[in-house]
Structure 1
Amino acid sequence: MTDNTKTPDPDDPELGRVADAVKGNWVDQIAPGPTRPYLRLSRADRPIGTWLLYLPCVWAVALATLNTGTYGPMDIWIIAGCGIGAFLMRGAGCTWNDITDRDIDGQVARTRSRPIPSGQVTVKGALIWMIVQSLVAFGILLSFQPAAIILGILSLAPVAIYPFAKRFTWWPQVFLGIAFNWGALLAWAAHSNALHPAAMLLYFAGIAWTLFYDTIYAHQDTEDDALIGVKSTARLFGDNSRKWLRLFLTLTILLFGGAVVMACYDRSILSLVIALGGPWAMGWHLTWQLGRFDPDDNGLLLKLFRSNRDAGLIPLPFFAIALLV
């Protein structure tokens, strides 16, 4: 009898593909087969999280330079280093998240195809991969100012706690915001070796923004989350989500605008007005998202969530022009 069973091709882009990955992403298409499960653990096939972790860092460098009026080659390295660090630490954080959530992920339709619950990676292999990413990121951190290094070490606490938040609070998105926007503090300290009240306002603006976009994201899983007892703001708010999203949108723009005012108080009125255009324009994008929000359309929810990369990029040209004025 002839065995017609076909041996899986390790380079097949569909082999092991995660359900909510970006179609045609570089991990599935061109990464060597053996590396794909680990890159999927790091969410390299879903880059939006890296952007959302990175953008508060770039905002902070931009506002810190507006505040001090000084910039140079080191700021270019801070921007680049934070980008590499965001990729690595988001990867390490997601790996830790998948280790702690491996049993939950196996019960949720959107996540059961992830590398650990699907059997592509062992828990031991994931732990080693997490440590490797963290050590490389730590090497980058050591090139920054002492204050930034201290903040970078302290950031490990919220990163470690976040995966457990949905087990004990209806507000896990707050813990995500605390972790994901820490770069606003770190990057400001990398520029100035100190923190400024504007950095704190920027940090809280980022947390409000995270509550906005991650509540949208969490609406994809409300049915599965209810079945297995996982908490989220999407489940907490339910039919009132639109009102809460409007509140988070408003807080994001008010706090972001306050950070701009505090950072630019010594600059010209023209520079301040131009810089304030950044949060204002971002607010219009968030308003567009809110207008399209439909908690029952998972495809749209994912699209709106991913569009926050564009929302976060909007303020940057305003800050660049304000620096030149």
Structure 2
Amino acid sequence: MKGTTSLISYRPHSSQSPSSTDRPAATTDNNAATHYVPPQRGFVASLPESWIPYAELIRLDKPAGTYYLFFPCIFSTLLAAPMASATPMQILGTTGLFFTGALIMRGAGCAINDLWDRNLDPYVERTKFRPIARGALSPKKALIFTGSQLLAGLAVLLQFPTQCLWYGIPSLLLVTTYPLAKRVTYYPQAVLGLTFSWGAIMGFPALGVDLLSNHASLEAAAALYSSCVAWTVLYDMIYAHMDIRDDVAAGIKSIALRHEHNTKTVLSGLAAVQVALLATAGVAAGAGPIFFVGTCGSAAVSLGIMIWKVQLKNVKNCWWWFKNGCLLTGGGITLGLVFEYIAQATDLYKSGNDGH
């Protein structure tokens, strides 16, 4: 994920980054890195040297993207659980499979993105030392590795009920087309939202809820999916601000550039849409007060704080809110859904009504 790009012809791949004479004047930051520095700490740093480019390719050292892909899956699983009368063990098992799938498919998506952008990444400060861009991995090796990831993702998908296969396969088309969308529109985040939010549909069939024969579940899934699309556009708009100077210099389009002077207004609108659609999903699913207070309320508060606090001209601050806003908003929604599931599983609402 990075700022959207205008249609630029690919040059033959080289093991070296473009020379300064070929490159448009990008950032003037005096702190810009001039050479690649291998990871010095963390899990990736402990890997054999030959493995590090592959770990960097799938962003193993930056798990925020995996969390963003996983959260819609757990949202839909917990929202569908009362409809399916799912047990806690069923929910845990399904959630574990979804997390494994999110880890694999997020990595595959990053690799596909880097293959498409291999001649563009060297122009952007934040991406110029990615493995393919700096020549640590050839496109052929990256492509083979990506194929193995997609096969692993298919293996995970096959662990779900058969109907999940038919719901899951269309998402592969979105995974491969997102990098293309960045070349033709200022709003590739909409395509990214359609891609990253797919899990908001998958939790229902994963627990045996047939969306095509259950009108209420279809409404709930559609509203939840749309809510997650709005969330994706929101957080990726903040992410795009990290590249805004390089995007201008390189002639790259982005949603951050398109709305540079009214970003917070757009973010506020997206947050309102996200929370409204989340509430709509709860109504369709027959959720109770805990959902609306805990899930919708926490989302509204966390999004409001993030939009208020984020400093869009500060790269580090944008990154902090992108990384931690995921856990604040996604975690709050998840906790609200967990308590809603417990309330329904223990007949808390019925007991309250009987007391009156």
1:223 aligns with 2:241: no
Residue deviations 1:84-115, cap 9 Å, x none?
00000000010000000011101000100100
Contact (CA 8 Å) 1:50, 1:87: kept in 2 or not? yes
User: Shift of residue 202 of structure 1?
Assistant: 0.5
TM norm structure 1: 0.89
1:240 aligns with 2:262: yes
Task: Name 2:330's counterpart in structure 1.
Answer: 312
Task: Name 2:14's counterpart in structure 1.
Answer: none
User: 2 CA distance for matches of 1:139 and 1:68?
Assistant: 24
Contact (CA 8 Å) 1:257, 1:279: kept in 2 or not? yes
- Which letter maps to 1:104? L
Give the match's secondary structure for 2:169: helix
1:1-325 aligned at under 5 Å gives the runs 15-17=37-39, 24-28=41-45, 30-71=46-87, 73-195=89-211, 196-264=218-286, 272-276=288-292, 277-310=294-327, 311-325=329-343
User: 1 CA distance for matches of 2:340 and 2:129?
Assistant: 46
Task: Name 1:11's counterpart in structure 2.
Answer: none
User: Shift of residue 258 of structure 1?
Assistant: 1.1
User: Shift of residue 15 of structure 1?
Assistant: 4.3
Give the match's secondary structure for 1:116: coil
User: Shift of residue 199 of structure 1?
Assistant: 0.8
Contact (CA 8 Å) 1:202, 1:256: kept in 2 or not? yes
User: Shift of residue 184 of structure 1?
Assistant: 1.1
Contact (CA 8 Å) 2:73, 2:200: kept in 1 or not? yes
Contact (CA 8 Å) 1:40, 1:114: kept in 2 or not? yes
Residue deviations 1:303-322, cap 9 Å, x none?
01111222101122222222
Taking only the aligned residue pairs, the percentage that are identical comes to 32
Contact (CA 8 Å) 2:80, 2:204: kept in 1 or not? yes
User: Shift of residue 283 of structure 1?
Assistant: 1.5
Higher mean Cα deviation, 44-53 or 186-195?
A: 186-195
Q: Which consecutive residues of structure 1, in runs of 5 or more, have no partner in the other structure?
A: 1-13, 18-22, 266-271
- Which letter maps to 1:289? M
User: 1 CA distance for matches of 2:41 and 2:291?
Assistant: 37
- Which letter maps to 2:62? R
More helix by share: 1
User: Shift of residue 66 of structure 1?
Assistant: 2.6
- Which letter maps to 1:294? Q
Contact (CA 8 Å) 1:105, 1:111: kept in 2 or not? yes
User: 2 CA distance for matches of 1:115 and 1:289?
Assistant: 32
Give the match's secondary structure for 2:155: helix
User: 1 CA distance for matches of 2:210 and 2:121?
Assistant: 40
Contact (CA 8 Å) 1:172, 1:231: kept in 2 or not? no
Task: Name 2:346's counterpart in structure 1.
Answer: none
User: Shift of residue 191 of structure 1?
Assistant: 1.2
User: 1 CA distance for matches of 2:42 and 2:83?
Assistant: 39
User: Shift of residue 228 of structure 1?
Assistant: 2.3
Contact (CA 8 Å) 1:170, 1:233: kept in 2 or not? yes
* Count of residue pairs the alignment pairs up: 300
- Which letter maps to 2:194? I
User: 1 CA distance for matches of 2:254 and 2:240?
Assistant: 7
Residue deviations 1:277-321, cap 9 Å, x none?
212112211111111122211110000111122210112222222
User: 2 CA distance for matches of 1:71 and 1:170?
Assistant: 44
- The structure whose RCO (Cα within 8 Å, separation 6+) is larger is 2
Contact (CA 8 Å) 1:64, 1:192: kept in 2 or not? no
